[in-house]
Amino acid sequence: MTEPLTRSVGSRQRIEDLERPALDDRSYRIITLPNQLEVLLIHDAETDKASAALDVNVGSFSDAKDMPGIAHAVEHLLFMGTEKYPKENAYNQYLTSHSGHSNAYTASTSTNYYFELAASSSSPADKKTSQSNTTQEQLPVLKEESPLWGALDRFGQFFISPLFLEDTLDRELKAVDSENKKNLQSDTWRLHQLNKALSNPNHPYCHFSTGSYKTLHDDPIARGVKIRDEFINFHAKHYSANRMKLVILGRESLDTLEEWAEEIFSQVPNKDLSRRRWDDVSVYTDNELLTQTFARPVFQSRSLDLSFLYRDEEEFYESHPARYLSHLIGHEGPGSILAYIKAKGWANGLAAGGTSLCPGSGLFNISVKLTEDGLEHYKEVTKIIFQYIAMVRAQPPQKWVVDEQIRMSEVDFRFRQKMPPSRTTSALAAVMQKPYDRKMLLSGPAVIRKFDAERLSQAMAYLRPDNFRLNIVSQDFPGGWDQKEQWYGTEFKSDKIPEEFLVEIREAFENPTRPAELHFPHKNEFIPNRLEVEKKKVETPLKTPKLIRHDEGVRTWYKKDDQFWVPKANVNIIFRTPMIYLTARTVVMSALYRDLVNDALVEYAYDADISGLIYEFNSYMSGLALSVEGYNDKLHVLLEKVLLSIRDLEVREDRVKIVHERMTRQFYNVDFGQPFHQVGNYSRWLKNEKGLLTEQLMKELEDITALDIRNFYPQILAQCHIEVLAHGNLRKEEALQITNLVENTMKPKRLPPSQWPIRRSLILPPGSNFIYERQLKDPANVNHCIEYMLYLGTTADRSLRAKILMIAQMTDEPAFNQLRTIEQLGYVVFSGSSITDTWAGYRILIQSEKDCRYLEGRIEHFLTTFEKILDEMSEEDFEGHKKAVINKRLEKLKNLTEEGNRFWNHIFSDAYDFLSHDEDAKHLTPLTKQDVQTCFSHYISPSSPHRAKLSVHLIAQAKPKEPTPEEKKAQAITQFTTILTAENITADLPTLQSRIDAIPNTPDTMASIVTAISAHLTEDLKLGKETVDKVLDEAKAALGLADVGKVASPEVLKNGDVEKAVKESDGTTPVLIEDVHAWKAGLQMSTGVRPVRDLGEFVEGAAKL
Ligand SMILES: [Zn+2]
């Protein structure tokens, strides 16, 4: 605690002495407003972002049985206008103009809303020159000057006087519906819902929490329910100040923040609602316990899950009993369940942990990732788990185990570093709903304080053979799934566990003779002891590492931490070689080798992992990369062991079989992922000189043997260049010792720089208009996906980069508003810059049920409209956007990891552009609106003959259900209303309704609807031609009827004569790429990535940069 504060409100209780991490320089205050809204205020003088979060103690567990998803729908609708700020996107526009963003989620007993934006209205660039020695007391506290105040006022109104604007209702329900559709093919959602569906139907855990258009709109309307009233009622019934927890984080003093919180949030109505509990109903009753469920996943995956009826432990946060059980059962070191079943070739992974579902209920889950063999032996695996549990239960709770956990949890809390502000506020608002002692709000969830033998014994008693359920997930075992889950359609079958199997489980559990391989873990040698930090204050932290060794075979980059002061370090190493990316076969062999090394290290590395020391070993296009990160005390121990495993890997047939099978499944599963996750693979393949598709890798994988890997891997390491980054709480000598360790262990032959891989991308010539089409392999998926990319030039052109960043910023909100909100093309809409190795571009990505050529047309239409928006943009708005981008580029590093990753990315990319953020800001500052307009009209505007476009179309096989003519009419009216609202036009709904009702139900209902809308605009509303055209075009777009013109019939590029194709098509007719190899061969290549400055300048002692 620093300053003793004078208090304006005498009687209010203020809690300020929260337990906090050693390095936490924030100050905290907890108050309760007169309306019983509890508020946590966080003052952070150094933060560049401010944030607030509000958590309401109501969620999907309170959904009405006949309206699943209503809590989630209210979360979406609450943000649709307030009395004070009736414009529905007022909040988001405000946030975007201050480099901000917002989000919300609905959980089972909580709904959590949050935002983040610039903490100050000046950008860090101006600050440096004007107010370098300003202290926080002198910072402005004028409301008008603080972006935070404006955001809080807009945010607060949602809880004070939300309007639930009628005309946004349908659209937000559509958003909920497409959110649900996006999850339909996801096994995480499907299997989670299946478990819920099979729990006690009287416990709210069984609810379907997302909701859909059917559950929130069609079904209730069919029952005669006025849905808007239902949403308002839900809000009236459950939202109350005393159920809300607010967290505000900003630069302003605690007193100022307190005043603001009071002024805005004490207006939130208080209804004195109680905190809900579910004590009298069990998640599993005798009906659900001792059942086995076999479920069929979308992905090729196999798992076995045991789910025990457990308890809610939110009151037991001083001892966290479930963590004793998850530590032992989830252990991966010698003696553990995983080590034993992995050695038998039955499992690839295991996780265990307790979850509090709600006040009054909890579960304890054990989940095992099975191999093919493991699936055949799932009964044995189950019995082994029970043998291990019995082994643990045979001993009283072990104090030394808990002592290790206490020690590690304290160290982790003590050296915890800052997270981004909105993660801090959102997480803390949720934590405040729990019964922690207020002084332990920060530490409570993290730290184990005491060994409580009694509570541990109680906890162990839940894990019994008569108190669990069993789930098996597999695509082909055992077959005969005779049921379908209601919401996601997951096929499954479920019955009681056969008595013979239960007898075997009980016998395994009760028999005191157990495999010798199962035992308690050994003492953990990786728990750090040496936690001293050598703190040398510096004026300004260094922005680049130094090159402390720079010879023919090795480079070592080093920076001692000068701002975060944690006893941690990052060491990154690349073994640079062209050997990996020679052919698809070498890529796959390298990947298998990587997996085998990681597989061999599971048991050893586990203790380090739970002691905050992790390693990562991976293979990339430019070589093998290894990183070790965490507490620096034992870092070298782990590093040495990993290096030896990399060098001396014993390639065992049995492990190859398992790793090979797992990779086959991973490759196979790529095709069943979300289309917007798949599209990047094709885009990268097309954009870069070298690139491979999963299908190419898959073909090679088929016949690679253990012998192939055994012969191949030593060649990768025999000759390579080593580059090291050592960063953090390390001395220079240690960095050099680490380098020696790497070099002396691997002893590679030197690889001359002339043989190092070069990164290049293709250059799309001006006038390019290419489309690459691909059908998606998942027959059940109804979503198409387009990635529309414009090539502007090379990444090395800093001024061009700055312009792209500006265009990305300015189109961000309008693209989302137009393509997602107004035209309702789909839930996934991204737009922004795409700046990779040497490719500097702009892109728009949409995942939608509408087809790709249609989407292509809508994107071009948006870009054309945006050109006008840009022309009309005021200088003030332009400058505001500029400030927002500069703020983002100059955002402060939050912790040592972020800094380490930034350095490593610049080294790994071969550009060594450590100052790229500052350079971008420098090139943004002088940009004029004219500069950006010129850039836009030359490179991006669809009417420009100079632009270079490439788009990838992923085409779905399945078709969404065709709506009935009545549905089409109803849909048309709501979509049309949405558009009019966005255009600020007042509709005459009854007149339009009667026009539409008069349309007969024929196959061309849609065309008649458009005619009716057009007549309504001109004859009823008497709007001018320009407005009519615009609105009509948007209406057609939303109905899927927009004229997509030229895009409909691309030419086909056959012989790879790109030059000729570009010349003939003149940029206006798209050209379809059929033979990618020929197409690439017809294109020029960019220059390679090169260091932005001579590396000699980074050598320690070199002339100042
Ligand atoms: Zn949502």
For 601-648, write each residue's pLDDT tens digit. Answer: 999 999 999 999 999 999 999 999 999 999 999 999 999 999 999 999
Residue 880 has pLDDT above 60, yes or no: yes
Confidence class of residue 658 from pLDDT cuts 50, 70 and 90?
very high
Is the CB of residue 821 less than 8 Å from the CB of residue 171? yes
pLDDT of residue 131: 39
pLDDT of residue 1079: 93
- Closest of 111, 63, 110 to residue 212, by C-alpha: 63
Is the CB of residue 841 less than 8 Å from the CB of residue 684? no
For 119-132, write each residue's pLDDT tens digit. Answer: 987 755 444 433 33
For 315-324, write each residue's pLDDT tens digit. Answer: 999 999 999 9
CA 304 / ligand 1 centre spacing (Å):
30
Q: Which residues contact 44 (CB under 8 A, 6 or more apart)?
A: 25, 26, 249, 250, 251, 421
Q: Mean pLDDT throughout 979-987?
A: 74
Residue 916 pairs in a beta bridge with none
For 256-303, write each residue's pLDDT tens digit. Answer: 999 999 999 999 999 999 988 999 999 999 999 999 999 999 998 999
More reliable by pLDDT, 437 or 973: 437
Give catalytic status of residue 372 as yes or no. no
CA 105 / ligand 1 centre spacing (Å):
6
Confidence class of residue 1069 from pLDDT cuts 50, 70 and 90?
confident
Confidence class of residue 135 from pLDDT cuts 50, 70 and 90?
very low
> In whole angstroms, what is the distance from residue 271 CA to residue 243 CA?
9
Report strand pairing: 347-358 vs 839-848. Answer: unpaired
User: Comparing 173-182, 456-465, 756-765, 782-791, which segment has the lowest mean pLDDT?
Assistant: 173-182
CA angle, 787 then 790 then 794, to 5°: 125
The domain covering 546-755 belongs, at the CATH homologous superfamily level, to Metalloenzyme, LuxS/M16 peptidase-like (3.30.830.10)
pLDDT of residue 170: 86
pLDDT of residue 218: 92
- Closest of 348, 300, 371, 301 to residue 668, by C-alpha: 300
Question: In a 10 Å sphere around its CB, with 0-12 CB exposed, 13-18 middle and 19+ buried, how is residue 997 labelled?
Answer: exposed
Q: List the structure tokens of 667.
A: 């490759």
DSSP 8-state code for residue 1049? S
User: Comparing 719-733, 904-918, 1002-1016, 1076-1090, which segment has the lowest mean pLDDT?
Assistant: 1002-1016
Give the Å distances, CA to CA, from 192 to 187, 655, 1017: 8, 31, 48
CA 69 / ligand 1 centre spacing (Å):
10
CA 505 / ligand 1 centre spacing (Å):
42
- Residue 624: CA count within 13 A, CB half-sphere: 28
CA 75 / ligand 1 centre spacing (Å):
7
- The pLDDT mean for the chain works out to 91
Report strand pairing: 948-955 vs 613-620. Answer: unpaired
Percent of the chain with pLDDT over 70: 96
CA 524 / ligand 1 centre spacing (Å):
43
Query: Three-state secondary structure along 829-887?
Result: EEEEEEECCCEEEEEEEEEECCCHHHHHHHHHHHHHHHHHHHHHCCHHHHHHHHHHHHH
Letter string b/e over residues 705-738, b meaning 16 or more CB atoms within 10 A of that residue's CB: ebebbbebbeebbebbbbbbbbbbbbeeebbbeb
Q: Is the peptide bond before 765 cis (omega within 30 degrees of 0)?
A: no
User: Comparing 4-8, 460-464, 718-722, which segment has the lowest mean pLDDT?
Assistant: 4-8
CA angle, 237 then 243 then 244, to 5°: 120
User: Comparing 382-396, 760-774, 950-964, which segment has the lowest mean pLDDT?
Assistant: 950-964
Out of 16, 19, 38, 75, pick the active-site residue. 75
Could you identify the residue written with the tokens 């027959």? 779
**What is the second-level CATH architecture of the domain 291-397+451-510?**
2-Layer Sandwich (3.30)
Residue 137 has pLDDT above 50, yes or no: no
CA 1051 / ligand 1 centre spacing (Å):
41
**What is the second-level CATH architecture of the domain 768-959+1048-1085?**
2-Layer Sandwich (3.30)
Confidence class of residue 141 from pLDDT cuts 50, 70 and 90?
low
CA 434 / ligand 1 centre spacing (Å):
24
> In whole angstroms, what is the distance from residue 704 CA to residue 689 CA?
26
pLDDT of residue 129: 38
- CA-CA-CA-CA torsion for 158, 164, 167, 173, nearest 10 degrees? 100
pLDDT of residue 4: 41
pLDDT of residue 1102: 65
Could you identify the residue written with the tokens 């940069």? 1105
> In whole angstroms, what is the distance from residue 787 CA to residue 678 CA?
10
Q: Mean pLDDT throughout 836-851?
A: 93
Q: Edge to edge, what strands does the sheet with 111-118 contain?
A: 27-32, 38-43, 244-250, 49-56, 111-118, 101-106
Domain boundaries, the chain: 14-124+141-266, 291-397+451-510, 546-755, 768-959+1048-1085, 965-1039
Residue 1046 has pLDDT above 50, yes or no: no
Q: Is the dihedral of CA 380, 384, 390, 393 positive or negative?
A: negative
**What is the second-level CATH architecture of the domain 14-124+141-266?**
2-Layer Sandwich (3.30)
More reliable by pLDDT, 142 or 372: 372
CA 106 / ligand 1 centre spacing (Å):
7
Residue 734 has pLDDT above 70, yes or no: yes
